[in-house]
Chain A
Amino acid sequence: MSRIWVTIGALVLLTLLIRASGPLIMGTRKLSEKADAVIGLLAPALLAGLVLTEAFAIGKSLVVDARAVGLGCAALAMALRAPLLVVVLIAAAATAATRAVLA
C-alpha cells in the first residue's frame, strides 16, 4: 500500500512543479519567434503520439485490436461534428461491440 502513497505523493508534488515551471523559470520574458513556432507545434506532435500509443500499444508491443475500431468510429463521429461526449461513447461502444463479436 505504501508503494501507492509514495507514487501519489511524488506525482502530486512533481506535477505542481512542472505546471509552475513556466513562471518559475521564464518569469515574464517572452519567447523568440522561432521558439514560438516550435512550441506551437508541440501540442499536435504530443497529442498525435498520445492517440497512437493509447490506441495501438500494450506496454512495449504494438497491436491492432478492438480499440482501433473504436478510434476509427470516433474519427467518423468527429467528421460528422458529433459532440465530445458522443465521440467518446461511440469509441467505447464500438470497441465493446468488436470485443463481443471476436470473443
Chain B
Amino acid sequence: MSGTFWAGARAGLSFAPGVFVLSASFGAVAQPVMGVVAPILMSVLQYAGSSQLAATAVLAADGSAAAAIAAGVMLNARFLPMSVVAAPALRGSRLRRSIEAQTIVDTSWALAARGQAGFDREVMLGATLPQYPAWVLGTATGVLFGGLLEDPRAFGLDAIVPAFFLALLVPESKRRGAVAACLLGGAIALALTPVLPPGLPVLLASAAALIGLRR
C-alpha cells in the first residue's frame, strides 16, 4: 500500500475518537429499543451512522418496519452519487470494486474527494480502516454502558450528530460553488421539513448541487 493509503489512515484516525462518541450515543439510544445484540450487529453489518440513528428514531417512536427502513434508506441515498464518483477510481473486477465501495462513509469519501487529482481510492480505504472498529466498539460501549445514563438528552448527546456533520462540512465548503450549495441545500431541507417525512428533506437538499451546472 502506498503513501496515500497511510495518509488516509492517519486522517481517519483523527476522526476515530469523534466517531466512537457518535457511535456510543447511537448505542445508548438504540439499546432500550432493540436490546443488546441488534444495535451491535447493525453497526457491524450496516456501518452507516445517520441511517442507523434515523431508523432507530422511527422504531423508538413505535413506527413500522417499513417507515424505519424508508427513513434509513433515505439518509443513505447519498451513498449512491458518492459511489458513482468513487467507481472509476476503484480497482479490479466488478465484484472487487463493489466490495471496495463498501468502505464508503461520509468522512472517508470526503477526504478522498477533496484532492485536486480526482478521487483517491487509497485515501478512502485507508481512512475507513481505523473508523470502522471505532464505530463498532463505540456502539458496543453505548449499548453496554448507556443504560447508566437515565436520559441521554440530559447529557446533550443529541447535539453530537449535527456537530459531527458540521465538522465534515467545513472543509468541503472550500470547493468552488460550495457555499452557495450549502445555503441552498440547507434552505431546501428546512423548508421541506414541515411537509415531508424525516429523511426526505435531506435527500432533496442534494438538488442544490445542480447549481454546479451554472458556469
Residues on A lying within 8 angstroms of B by beta carbon are: 1, 3-8, 10-12, 14-16, 18-31, 34, 37-57, 59-62, 66-67, 70-71, 74-75, 78, 83-85, 87-97, 99-100
Number of interface residues of B (CB under 8 A): 107
Query: Which of A11, A28, A57, A67 has the most C-beta atoms of chain B within 10 angstroms of its own C-beta?
Result: A11
- Cβ B73 vs Cβ A4 within 8 A: no
Binds A, one of B2-10, B140-148, B188-196: B188-196
Mostly, the B contact residues are helix
Query: Which of A46, A67, A88 has the most C-beta atoms of chain B within 10 angstroms of its own C-beta?
Result: A46
- Cβ B98 vs Cβ A62 within 8 A: no
Indicate whether B45 reaches chain A with its CB closer than 8 angstroms.
yes
| Shortest distance between the CB of A49 and any CB in chain B (Å) | 3
- Inter-chain CA distance A67–B85, complex, in Å, is 33
**Closest B-chain residue to A93, C-beta based?**
B156
Identify which of B14, B76, B178, B205 contacts A15 (C-beta below 8 A). B76
Report chain A residues within 8 Å CB of B34. Answer: 4, 8
Report chain B residues within 8 Å CB of A15. Answer: 46-48, 51, 72-73, 76, 79
| Shortest distance between the CB of B90 and any CB in chain A (Å) | 6
- Cβ A44 vs Cβ B156 within 8 A: no
Report chain B residues within 8 Å CB of A91. Answer: 156, 159-160, 162-163
- Cβ B208 vs Cβ A45 within 8 A: yes
8 residue pairs bridging A and B, Cβ less than 8 Å apart: A10-B65, A23-B98, A31-B88, A37-B177, A48-B189, A78-B166, A85-B18, A99-B156
**Closest B-chain residue to A34, C-beta based?**
B213
- Cβ A78 vs Cβ B170 within 8 A: yes
- Cβ A53 vs Cβ B190 within 8 A: yes
Q: A11-B48, A41-B209, A57-B190 are in contact. List 16 more A-B contacts (CB 8 A).
A: A4-B59, A12-B42, A20-B101, A25-B84, A28-B88, A30-B88, A39-B209, A42-B78, A45-B185, A48-B169, A49-B205, A60-B198, A84-B15, A87-B163, A90-B163, A95-B156
- Cβ B102 vs Cβ A19 within 8 A: yes
- Cβ B104 vs Cβ A19 within 8 A: yes
- Cβ A11 vs Cβ B64 within 8 A: no
- Cβ B178 vs Cβ A41 within 8 A: yes
Report chain B residues within 8 Å CB of A8. Answer: 34, 38, 41-42, 45-46
**Closest B-chain residue to A61, C-beta based?**
B194
Report chain A residues within 8 Å CB of B204. Answer: 49
Report chain A residues within 8 Å CB of B207. Answer: 45
Report chain B residues within 8 Å CB of A88. Answer: 18, 21-22, 160, 163-164, 167
Given contacts A7-B55, A41-B208, A75-B166, contact A92 B73 (CB under 8 A): no
